[in-house]
A and B are shown apart, each in its own frame.
Chain A
Amino acid sequence: MAKAAKTNTEDYLRMYTQMVRIRAFEDNANQLYLSAKMPGLTHMYSGQEAVAVGICEALTPDDKITSTHRGHGHCVAKGAEFKAMFCELLGKEEGYCRGKGGSMHIADQSNGNLGANAIVGGSMGIATGAALSSKMQKSGQVAVCFFGDGATAQGLWYEVMNMAALWGLPVIYACENNGYSEYTKTDEIAAGSITARAEAFGIESYDLDGQDVLAVNDLTQKLVARCRKGEGPFFMNLKTYRYHGHHVGDINRDYYRTKDEEAEWKTTRDPITNFGKWLEGEKIVTAEELVAINDSVRQEAEEAVAYALDAKYPDVSEVDMHVYVA
Chain B
Amino acid sequence: MREITLSKAVNEAIAEEMRRDPTVFLMGEDVAEAGTPFKVLSGLVEEFGTERVIDTPISEPGFVGLAVGAAMTGTRPIVDLMFGDFIFLVMDQLCNQAAKTHYMSGGKLSVPMVLRTNMGATRRSAAQHSQSLHALVAHIPGLKVAMPSSAYEAKGLMKTAIRDNNPVVIFEDKLMYQDKAPVPEEEYLIPFGVANVKREGSDITLIGTSSMVQVAEAAAEILAKEGISAEVIDPRTIVPLDEETLIKSVRKTSRAIVIDEGHQSYGVTGEIAARLNEKAFYHLDAPVVRMGAMDVPVPFSPALEDITVPTAEGVAAMARKLCAGEMIHAA
Contacts and interface: CB of A to CB of B under 8 A. Distances in A.
A130 interface: yes
B70 A129 contact: yes
Contacts of B104: 97, 100-101, 105, 107, 115
Interface string B98-139: 000111111111101000000000000000000000000000
B61 A137 contact: no
Contacts of B73: 64, 114, 129-130, 133-134, 141
B9 interface: no
A159 B104 CA distance: 26
A160 B106 contact: no
B310 interface: no
A99 interface: yes
B67 to A, nearest CB: 6
B202 interface: no
B21 interface: no
Contacts of A141: 73
Nearest to A101: B104
Interface in A90-116: 95-101, 105, 107, 109, 114-115
A38 B51 CA distance: 47
Nearest to B63: A163
B75 A159 contact: no
Most buried by A among B56, B73, B109: B73
A268 to B, nearest CB: 39
A165 to B, nearest CB: 11
A127 interface: yes
* Residue from B23, B51, B69, B102 having most chain A Cβ neighbours under 10 A: B69
Interface in B242-299: none
Given A136-B75, A137-B23, A107 B66 contact: no
Contact-residue size bin, chain A (C-beta under 8 Å from the other chain): 35 or more
B69 A126 contact: yes
Contact of A125 (B65, B75, B109, B165): B65
Contacts of B108: 96-97, 107, 109
Nearest to A159: B62
A324 B115 CA distance: 16
B181 interface: no
Nearest to B65: A125
B106 A129 contact: no
B53 to A, nearest CB: 12
B179 interface: no
B51 A136 contact: yes
Contacts of A163: 56-57, 59, 62-63, 66
Contacts of A64: 73
Contacts of B84: none
A137 B74 contact: yes
B75 A137 contact: yes
Nearest to B76: A133
B106 A101 contact: yes
Contacts of A155: 61
B65 A128 contact: yes
A56 interface: no
B103 A325 contact: no
Contacts of A101: 104-106
A286 B259 CA distance: 77
B11 interface: no
B102 A322 contact: yes
Interface centre among A99, A105, A132, A155 (most CB of B within 10 A): A132
11 contacts: A66-B69, A97-B108, A105-B104, A114-B109, A130-B70, A137-B74, A139-B74, A143-B69, A159-B65, A163-B66, A325-B165
Interface of A: 64, 66, 95-101, 105, 107, 109, 114-115, 117, 119, 122-134, 136-137, 139, 141, 143, 155-156, 159-160, 162-163, 166-167, 321-325
A-B pairs with the 6 shortest C-beta distances?
A125-B65, A129-B69, A159-B62, A98-B106, A126-B69, A159-B59
Given A159-B63, A325-B164, 20 more contacts: A96-B108, A97-B108, A100-B103, A107-B101, A114-B73, A122-B93, A125-B68, A125-B97, A126-B68, A126-B97, A131-B69, A132-B69, A137-B23, A156-B61, A159-B57, A160-B65, A322-B106, A323-B103, A324-B144, A325-B107
